[in-house]
A and B are shown apart, each in its own frame.
Chain A
Amino acid sequence: MANPWQNSILVTDNITMQFGGLKAVSNLALNIAPRQIVGLIGPNGAGKTTAFNMITGVYKPTSGKITFDGNDITGLRPNQITELGIARTFQNIRLFSSMSVLENVLLSKHVRLKATPLEAILGLPRYTRARKRHIEECMDLLEQVQLADVAHEKATSLPYGKQRRLEIARALATQPKMILLDEPAAGMNPQESLELMEFIARIREQFGLTVLMIEHHMEVVMGICEHIVVLDHGETIAQGTPTEIQNNQQVIEAYLGAVDESA
Protein backbone atom coordinates (compact mmCIF):
# COMPACT_ATOMS: atom_id res chain seq x y z
CA MET A 1 0.00 0.00 0.00
CA ALA A 2 1.57 3.21 -1.17
CA ASN A 3 -0.63 5.30 1.03
CA PRO A 4 0.83 5.78 4.51
CA TRP A 5 -2.25 7.59 5.77
CA GLN A 6 -5.21 5.34 6.20
CA ASN A 7 -8.41 6.77 4.85
CA SER A 8 -6.81 9.43 2.71
CA ILE A 9 -7.70 9.90 -0.92
CA LEU A 10 -5.25 12.67 -1.74
CA VAL A 11 -1.96 13.23 -0.03
CA THR A 12 0.54 15.85 -1.13
CA ASP A 13 3.84 15.23 0.55
CA ASN A 14 5.54 18.63 0.82
CA ILE A 15 5.13 19.62 -2.81
CA THR A 16 7.02 22.68 -3.96
CA MET A 17 6.82 24.61 -7.23
CA GLN A 18 9.59 26.95 -8.15
CA PHE A 19 9.56 29.27 -11.20
CA GLY A 20 13.07 30.61 -11.61
CA GLY A 21 13.81 32.33 -8.31
CA LEU A 22 10.17 32.45 -7.23
CA LYS A 23 8.69 29.79 -4.99
CA ALA A 24 5.02 29.84 -5.97
CA VAL A 25 4.18 27.05 -3.54
CA SER A 26 6.47 25.63 -0.91
CA ASN A 27 6.09 22.41 1.05
CA LEU A 28 2.35 22.11 0.66
CA ALA A 29 1.14 19.14 2.70
CA LEU A 30 -2.50 18.24 2.13
CA ASN A 31 -4.14 15.15 3.51
CA ILE A 32 -7.69 14.81 2.33
CA ALA A 33 -10.12 12.09 3.36
CA PRO A 34 -12.66 10.64 0.91
CA ARG A 35 -15.92 12.59 0.57
CA GLN A 36 -14.49 15.55 2.42
CA ILE A 37 -15.04 19.11 1.16
CA VAL A 38 -11.83 21.03 1.60
CA GLY A 39 -11.30 24.74 0.97
CA LEU A 40 -8.03 26.21 -0.21
CA ILE A 41 -7.96 29.92 0.53
CA GLY A 42 -5.48 32.75 0.57
CA PRO A 43 -4.92 36.16 -0.94
CA ASN A 44 -4.26 36.65 -4.65
CA GLY A 45 -0.93 35.20 -5.72
CA ALA A 46 -0.79 32.89 -2.73
CA GLY A 47 -0.18 29.91 -5.01
CA LYS A 48 -3.59 28.28 -4.88
CA THR A 49 -4.02 27.75 -8.61
CA THR A 50 -0.40 26.62 -8.83
CA ALA A 51 -1.22 23.96 -6.24
CA PHE A 52 -4.17 22.85 -8.42
CA ASN A 53 -1.95 22.77 -11.45
CA MET A 54 0.53 20.52 -9.67
CA ILE A 55 -2.16 18.13 -8.49
CA THR A 56 -3.76 17.91 -11.94
CA GLY A 57 -0.44 17.50 -13.75
CA VAL A 58 -0.31 20.82 -15.60
CA TYR A 59 2.94 21.52 -13.73
CA LYS A 60 5.37 18.96 -12.44
CA PRO A 61 6.29 19.81 -8.84
CA THR A 62 9.92 20.85 -8.33
CA SER A 63 10.00 18.54 -5.33
CA GLY A 64 7.62 16.47 -3.26
CA LYS A 65 5.22 13.66 -4.03
CA ILE A 66 1.51 13.48 -4.74
CA THR A 67 -0.43 10.33 -3.95
CA PHE A 68 -3.99 9.87 -5.11
CA ASP A 69 -6.09 6.87 -4.20
CA GLY A 70 -2.97 4.81 -3.57
CA ASN A 71 -1.24 5.82 -6.83
CA ASP A 72 1.82 8.02 -7.07
CA ILE A 73 0.66 10.64 -9.58
CA THR A 74 3.61 13.02 -9.35
CA GLY A 75 4.59 14.20 -12.82
CA LEU A 76 1.89 12.29 -14.70
CA ARG A 77 0.25 14.02 -17.66
CA PRO A 78 -3.07 15.83 -16.94
CA ASN A 79 -5.03 13.33 -19.04
CA GLN A 80 -3.55 10.39 -17.12
CA ILE A 81 -4.50 12.01 -13.83
CA THR A 82 -8.03 12.61 -15.12
CA GLU A 83 -8.27 8.95 -16.01
CA LEU A 84 -7.23 8.01 -12.50
CA GLY A 85 -10.15 10.04 -11.17
CA ILE A 86 -9.32 13.70 -10.55
CA ALA A 87 -11.39 16.22 -12.50
CA ARG A 88 -11.16 19.99 -12.39
CA THR A 89 -12.69 23.28 -13.41
CA PHE A 90 -10.82 26.44 -14.31
CA GLN A 91 -10.69 29.89 -12.80
CA ASN A 92 -11.14 31.49 -16.23
CA ILE A 93 -13.83 29.30 -17.75
CA ARG A 94 -12.43 27.04 -20.44
CA LEU A 95 -15.36 25.61 -22.34
CA PHE A 96 -15.04 24.32 -25.90
CA SER A 97 -16.39 27.32 -27.70
CA SER A 98 -17.37 25.64 -30.97
CA MET A 99 -19.45 22.97 -29.28
CA SER A 100 -22.89 22.63 -27.73
CA VAL A 101 -23.48 21.99 -24.04
CA LEU A 102 -24.03 18.30 -24.67
CA GLU A 103 -20.95 18.01 -26.87
CA ASN A 104 -18.84 19.65 -24.17
CA VAL A 105 -19.94 17.03 -21.68
CA LEU A 106 -19.82 14.19 -24.18
CA LEU A 107 -16.16 14.82 -24.80
CA SER A 108 -15.25 13.43 -21.40
CA LYS A 109 -16.50 10.03 -22.58
CA HIS A 110 -14.01 9.93 -25.41
CA VAL A 111 -11.33 8.13 -23.40
CA ARG A 112 -13.85 5.46 -22.42
CA LEU A 113 -14.58 4.48 -26.02
CA LYS A 114 -13.41 0.98 -26.73
CA ALA A 115 -13.96 1.21 -30.49
CA THR A 116 -11.32 2.19 -33.06
CA PRO A 117 -11.48 5.23 -35.37
CA LEU A 118 -12.04 2.87 -38.28
CA GLU A 119 -15.20 1.54 -36.66
CA ALA A 120 -16.33 5.12 -36.13
CA ILE A 121 -15.71 6.04 -39.76
CA LEU A 122 -17.57 3.01 -41.04
CA GLY A 123 -20.33 3.50 -38.44
CA LEU A 124 -19.98 -0.05 -37.10
CA PRO A 125 -22.25 -1.10 -34.23
CA ARG A 126 -19.59 -1.32 -31.50
CA TYR A 127 -18.96 2.40 -31.97
CA THR A 128 -22.49 3.61 -32.61
CA ARG A 129 -23.89 1.67 -29.67
CA ALA A 130 -21.27 3.01 -27.27
CA ARG A 131 -21.79 6.50 -28.62
CA LYS A 132 -25.53 6.27 -28.15
CA ARG A 133 -25.06 5.05 -24.59
CA HIS A 134 -22.66 7.90 -23.85
CA ILE A 135 -25.13 10.45 -25.18
CA GLU A 136 -27.81 9.01 -22.95
CA GLU A 137 -25.52 9.08 -19.93
CA CYS A 138 -24.57 12.67 -20.62
CA MET A 139 -28.19 13.71 -21.08
CA ASP A 140 -28.94 12.10 -17.71
CA LEU A 141 -26.11 14.05 -16.16
CA LEU A 142 -27.33 17.30 -17.71
CA GLU A 143 -30.76 16.46 -16.37
CA GLN A 144 -29.30 16.15 -12.88
CA VAL A 145 -27.49 19.47 -13.07
CA GLN A 146 -30.50 21.19 -14.65
CA LEU A 147 -28.86 21.93 -17.95
CA ALA A 148 -30.84 19.48 -20.07
CA ASP A 149 -33.07 22.20 -21.49
CA VAL A 150 -30.04 23.97 -22.99
CA ALA A 151 -28.26 20.77 -24.09
CA HIS A 152 -28.15 21.83 -27.75
CA GLU A 153 -27.28 25.47 -27.19
CA LYS A 154 -23.79 26.64 -27.87
CA ALA A 155 -21.87 26.35 -24.58
CA THR A 156 -20.41 29.85 -24.71
CA SER A 157 -23.85 31.40 -25.31
CA LEU A 158 -25.03 30.39 -21.82
CA PRO A 159 -25.22 32.96 -19.03
CA TYR A 160 -22.16 33.07 -16.81
CA GLY A 161 -23.59 31.10 -13.89
CA LYS A 162 -24.68 28.27 -16.17
CA GLN A 163 -21.28 28.19 -17.84
CA ARG A 164 -19.74 27.61 -14.40
CA ARG A 165 -22.24 24.85 -13.74
CA LEU A 166 -21.49 23.34 -17.14
CA GLU A 167 -17.79 23.27 -16.32
CA ILE A 168 -18.60 21.31 -13.19
CA ALA A 169 -20.92 19.01 -15.14
CA ARG A 170 -18.20 18.42 -17.70
CA ALA A 171 -15.79 17.50 -14.93
CA LEU A 172 -18.38 15.17 -13.39
CA ALA A 173 -18.83 13.42 -16.71
CA THR A 174 -15.31 12.04 -16.46
CA GLN A 175 -16.64 10.02 -13.50
CA PRO A 176 -14.10 11.35 -11.03
CA LYS A 177 -13.51 10.32 -7.46
CA MET A 178 -12.37 13.80 -6.66
CA ILE A 179 -13.14 17.18 -8.14
CA LEU A 180 -11.05 20.35 -7.93
CA LEU A 181 -13.04 23.57 -8.28
CA ASP A 182 -11.10 26.74 -9.03
CA GLU A 183 -13.19 29.67 -7.75
CA PRO A 184 -16.59 28.23 -8.66
CA ALA A 185 -18.44 31.20 -7.15
CA ALA A 186 -16.37 33.88 -8.88
CA GLY A 187 -18.60 36.62 -10.22
CA MET A 188 -21.74 35.26 -8.57
CA ASN A 189 -24.20 37.21 -6.43
CA PRO A 190 -25.08 35.96 -2.90
CA GLN A 191 -28.19 34.16 -4.16
CA GLU A 192 -26.24 32.35 -6.87
CA SER A 193 -23.47 31.49 -4.41
CA LEU A 194 -26.00 29.97 -2.12
CA GLU A 195 -27.39 27.84 -4.92
CA LEU A 196 -23.87 26.82 -5.84
CA MET A 197 -23.18 25.68 -2.27
CA GLU A 198 -26.28 23.54 -2.29
CA PHE A 199 -25.27 22.22 -5.69
CA ILE A 200 -21.80 21.24 -4.51
CA ALA A 201 -23.14 19.58 -1.40
CA ARG A 202 -25.65 17.69 -3.52
CA ILE A 203 -23.18 16.39 -6.09
CA ARG A 204 -20.87 15.32 -3.28
CA GLU A 205 -23.65 13.12 -1.90
CA GLN A 206 -24.89 11.94 -5.25
CA PHE A 207 -21.55 11.00 -6.77
CA GLY A 208 -19.65 10.21 -3.57
CA LEU A 209 -17.10 12.89 -4.41
CA THR A 210 -14.22 14.42 -2.60
CA VAL A 211 -14.09 18.15 -3.23
CA LEU A 212 -11.13 20.51 -3.10
CA MET A 213 -12.03 24.09 -3.88
CA ILE A 214 -10.35 27.45 -4.19
CA GLU A 215 -12.75 30.18 -3.23
CA HIS A 216 -12.75 33.82 -2.26
CA HIS A 217 -16.37 34.04 -1.14
CA MET A 218 -16.01 33.43 2.58
CA GLU A 219 -19.68 32.59 3.06
CA VAL A 220 -19.26 29.74 0.59
CA VAL A 221 -16.03 28.47 2.11
CA MET A 222 -17.18 28.71 5.71
CA GLY A 223 -20.60 27.39 4.75
CA ILE A 224 -19.64 24.05 3.20
CA CYS A 225 -15.99 23.28 3.78
CA GLU A 226 -15.20 20.82 6.52
CA HIS A 227 -11.53 21.55 6.41
CA ILE A 228 -9.70 24.67 5.29
CA VAL A 229 -6.12 25.23 4.22
CA VAL A 230 -4.78 28.78 4.12
CA LEU A 231 -1.92 29.72 1.82
CA ASP A 232 0.01 32.96 1.83
CA HIS A 233 3.00 33.58 -0.43
CA GLY A 234 3.17 29.89 -1.16
CA GLU A 235 3.44 28.94 2.52
CA THR A 236 0.75 27.06 4.39
CA ILE A 237 -0.05 29.36 7.28
CA ALA A 238 -2.95 27.47 8.82
CA GLN A 239 -5.10 24.35 8.49
CA GLY A 240 -8.21 23.36 10.40
CA THR A 241 -11.98 23.51 10.70
CA PRO A 242 -13.82 26.69 9.68
CA THR A 243 -14.16 27.75 13.32
CA GLU A 244 -10.47 27.23 13.96
CA ILE A 245 -9.56 29.23 10.87
CA GLN A 246 -11.92 32.05 11.73
CA ASN A 247 -10.28 32.35 15.12
CA ASN A 248 -6.72 31.99 13.93
CA GLN A 249 -4.93 35.26 14.59
CA GLN A 250 -2.37 34.81 11.79
CA VAL A 251 -5.07 34.13 9.23
CA ILE A 252 -7.10 37.11 10.34
CA GLU A 253 -4.09 39.33 9.95
CA ALA A 254 -2.86 37.93 6.66
CA TYR A 255 -6.12 37.39 4.97
CA LEU A 256 -9.55 37.74 6.45
CA GLY A 257 -9.09 41.37 7.36
CA ALA A 258 -8.12 42.20 3.83
CA VAL A 259 -11.10 40.36 2.43
CA ASP A 260 -13.55 42.09 4.73
CA GLU A 261 -12.35 45.44 3.52
CA SER A 262 -12.63 44.54 -0.12
CA ALA A 263 -15.90 42.63 0.17
Chain B
Amino acid sequence: MNVETSPGVNHDLKGQVLVDTEVVVDPDRLEMLSAAIGSATGKVTATLVALFGPTLAGQDSVIGPLGLDLRRTLQGGQSYEWHRPFRAGERVGVTIDVEDIVEKQSLDLITVRAVFRGSEGELIQRQRSVFVQMREATEPSTEATG
Protein backbone atom coordinates (compact mmCIF):
# COMPACT_ATOMS: atom_id res chain seq x y z
CA MET B 1 0.00 0.00 0.00
CA ASN B 2 1.23 3.47 -0.77
CA VAL B 3 -0.03 6.30 1.36
CA GLU B 4 1.30 9.80 1.73
CA THR B 5 2.89 10.77 4.98
CA SER B 6 1.45 13.66 7.00
CA PRO B 7 2.74 15.68 9.94
CA GLY B 8 1.18 13.38 12.53
CA VAL B 9 -0.71 13.80 15.75
CA ASN B 10 -0.48 17.14 17.52
CA HIS B 11 0.68 16.03 20.97
CA ASP B 12 0.51 19.62 22.22
CA LEU B 13 -3.27 19.26 22.42
CA LYS B 14 -3.13 16.75 25.26
CA GLY B 15 -5.25 18.17 28.06
CA GLN B 16 -6.69 20.90 25.88
CA VAL B 17 -10.37 21.69 25.36
CA LEU B 18 -11.22 21.55 21.65
CA VAL B 19 -14.95 22.27 21.75
CA ASP B 20 -17.08 24.08 24.34
CA THR B 21 -20.46 24.84 22.85
CA GLU B 22 -24.15 24.09 22.83
CA VAL B 23 -26.00 21.89 20.39
CA VAL B 24 -29.64 20.94 19.87
CA VAL B 25 -30.57 17.28 19.85
CA ASP B 26 -32.08 17.20 16.39
CA PRO B 27 -35.26 15.07 16.21
CA ASP B 28 -34.60 14.28 12.55
CA ARG B 29 -31.15 12.95 13.38
CA LEU B 30 -32.64 10.85 16.16
CA GLU B 31 -35.01 9.36 13.60
CA MET B 32 -32.09 8.61 11.27
CA LEU B 33 -30.19 6.99 14.09
CA SER B 34 -33.20 4.90 15.04
CA ALA B 35 -33.53 3.80 11.42
CA ALA B 36 -29.83 2.93 11.31
CA ILE B 37 -30.27 0.73 14.38
CA GLY B 38 -33.36 -0.74 12.76
CA SER B 39 -35.01 -2.47 15.70
CA ALA B 40 -38.12 -2.14 17.82
CA THR B 41 -36.02 -0.49 20.53
CA GLY B 42 -34.06 1.71 18.12
CA LYS B 43 -35.89 4.89 19.14
CA VAL B 44 -34.92 4.40 22.77
CA THR B 45 -31.36 3.38 21.99
CA ALA B 46 -30.95 6.42 19.76
CA THR B 47 -31.48 8.67 22.78
CA LEU B 48 -28.49 7.03 24.47
CA VAL B 49 -26.06 7.37 21.56
CA ALA B 50 -27.51 10.44 19.83
CA LEU B 51 -24.37 12.58 19.77
CA PHE B 52 -20.86 11.45 18.90
CA GLY B 53 -18.39 13.88 20.43
CA PRO B 54 -15.60 13.82 17.87
CA THR B 55 -17.86 14.79 14.94
CA LEU B 56 -20.79 16.66 16.46
CA ALA B 57 -19.28 20.05 15.77
CA GLY B 58 -18.03 19.03 12.33
CA GLN B 59 -15.13 16.83 11.35
CA ASP B 60 -12.74 19.77 11.47
CA SER B 61 -13.45 20.52 15.13
CA VAL B 62 -11.52 17.56 16.52
CA ILE B 63 -10.07 15.47 13.70
CA GLY B 64 -8.39 18.42 12.02
CA PRO B 65 -6.73 20.08 15.03
CA LEU B 66 -5.47 16.72 16.29
CA GLY B 67 -3.81 16.09 12.95
CA LEU B 68 -5.53 12.75 12.47
CA ASP B 69 -4.98 11.30 9.02
CA LEU B 70 -8.15 9.41 8.15
CA ARG B 71 -6.21 7.15 5.79
CA ARG B 72 -4.39 5.58 8.70
CA THR B 73 -6.63 6.25 11.68
CA LEU B 74 -9.31 3.93 12.99
CA GLN B 75 -11.32 3.88 16.18
CA GLY B 76 -10.12 1.50 18.86
CA GLY B 77 -12.59 2.16 21.65
CA GLN B 78 -15.77 3.88 22.70
CA SER B 79 -17.34 4.22 26.11
CA TYR B 80 -20.55 5.76 27.40
CA GLU B 81 -21.44 6.72 30.96
CA TRP B 82 -25.15 7.45 31.06
CA HIS B 83 -26.93 9.68 33.55
CA ARG B 84 -30.07 10.15 31.50
CA PRO B 85 -31.13 9.90 27.84
CA PHE B 86 -30.98 12.83 25.45
CA ARG B 87 -34.34 14.42 24.71
CA ALA B 88 -35.45 15.32 21.22
CA GLY B 89 -35.18 19.06 20.67
CA GLU B 90 -33.32 19.89 23.88
CA ARG B 91 -30.30 22.18 23.92
CA VAL B 92 -27.28 20.62 25.58
CA GLY B 93 -23.87 21.92 26.49
CA VAL B 94 -20.88 19.89 25.36
CA THR B 95 -17.24 20.11 26.27
CA ILE B 96 -14.76 18.03 24.30
CA ASP B 97 -11.16 17.70 25.37
CA VAL B 98 -8.15 15.59 24.58
CA GLU B 99 -7.80 13.44 27.63
CA ASP B 100 -4.65 11.66 26.58
CA ILE B 101 -2.23 10.98 23.75
CA VAL B 102 0.02 7.97 24.19
CA GLU B 103 2.75 6.67 21.92
CA LYS B 104 2.81 2.89 21.73
CA GLN B 105 5.26 1.27 19.32
CA SER B 106 4.36 2.75 15.93
CA LEU B 107 0.95 3.97 17.08
CA ASP B 108 -0.49 7.07 18.60
CA LEU B 109 -3.46 6.36 20.88
CA ILE B 110 -5.64 9.44 21.27
CA THR B 111 -8.44 9.58 23.85
CA VAL B 112 -11.08 12.23 23.23
CA ARG B 113 -13.55 12.90 26.03
CA ALA B 114 -16.97 14.51 25.60
CA VAL B 115 -19.15 15.67 28.48
CA PHE B 116 -22.79 16.60 27.88
CA ARG B 117 -24.90 18.68 30.27
CA GLY B 118 -28.52 19.74 30.22
CA SER B 119 -29.93 23.25 30.51
CA GLU B 120 -29.73 23.13 34.31
CA GLY B 121 -26.14 22.01 34.21
CA GLU B 122 -27.03 18.43 35.07
CA LEU B 123 -24.78 15.72 33.71
CA ILE B 124 -26.36 13.81 30.84
CA GLN B 125 -23.54 11.68 29.55
CA ARG B 126 -19.79 11.21 29.37
CA GLN B 127 -18.13 9.62 26.37
CA ARG B 128 -14.62 8.51 25.60
CA SER B 129 -13.46 7.77 22.08
CA VAL B 130 -10.07 6.20 21.47
CA PHE B 131 -8.47 6.67 18.07
CA VAL B 132 -5.48 4.70 16.83
CA GLN B 133 -3.21 6.30 14.25
CA MET B 134 -0.23 4.66 12.62
CA ARG B 135 2.75 7.00 12.92
CA GLU B 136 4.42 5.54 9.89
CA ALA B 137 3.03 5.17 6.38
CA THR B 138 2.30 1.46 6.74
CA GLU B 139 -0.66 -0.87 6.90
CA PRO B 140 -3.45 0.12 9.33
CA SER B 141 -3.66 -1.79 12.57
CA THR B 142 -5.94 -4.81 12.76
CA GLU B 143 -6.49 -3.81 16.40
CA ALA B 144 -8.70 -0.95 15.33
CA THR B 145 -11.91 -1.00 13.43
CA GLY B 146 -13.27 2.36 12.45
Q: Do A and B bind each other?
A: no
Chain A residues within 8 Å of B, Cβ to Cβ: none
Chain B residues within 8 Å of A, Cβ to Cβ: none
